[in-house]
Amino acid sequence: MPKRKLDPLPSAAFQILLALAGEDLHGYGIMRNVAEQTDGRMRLGPGTLYSSIQTLLDAKLIEETEPREDAKLGHARRRYYRLTSAGRKLARSEAERLRDLLRVARSRKILRGEYV
């Protein structure tokens, strides 16, 4: 079931995987990272964020780590998420797919610039 939900990979899920590629993050951290890496175009709302997280957890693409405090955000303990190796693999293959797509777009002169 999760497989079907993630094939094709929804952009929210992909963005979450990318956000977690650098460091372990809690929900709000993921949201902020995603907003940053998309120049503010994608601001994940709580519903979308956590249902995507649930799906990714079910598919074992990410995992939960021990809850801990975020020094910048007060004393509340937060659940942190970490990318699994399967998640990293999937993110990479998705990135490769996009790269191939980009190549095609460039060859068709839809996008100017150098080959990646």
CB of 115 to another protein, least distance (A): 36
Distance CA 74, CA 70 (A): 7
- What are residue 66's phi and psi, to 5 degrees? -60, 135
Q: Which is nearer to another protein, 35 or 95 (CB)?
A: 35
CB of 66 to another protein, least distance (A): 15
Q: Which residue in this structure is represented by tokens 């490769």?
A: 96
Residues 6+ apart with CB under 8 A from 63: 57, 81, 82, 84
Q: Which is nearer to another protein, 27 or 95 (CB)?
A: 27
CB of 111 to another protein, least distance (A): 29
Q: Which is nearer to another protein, 2 or 21 (CB)?
A: 2
Q: What's the first-to-final CA gap in the chain, in angstroms?
A: 34
Sign of CA dihedral 46, 38, 78, 5: positive
CB of 25 to another protein, least distance (A): 12
Q: Using CB under 8 A as the criterion, which residues of the chain lie in contact with another protein when the complex forms? A: 1-2, 27-28, 31, 43-51, 53-54, 58, 73, 76, 78-79
Q: Which is nearer to another protein, 49 or 83 (CB)?
A: 49
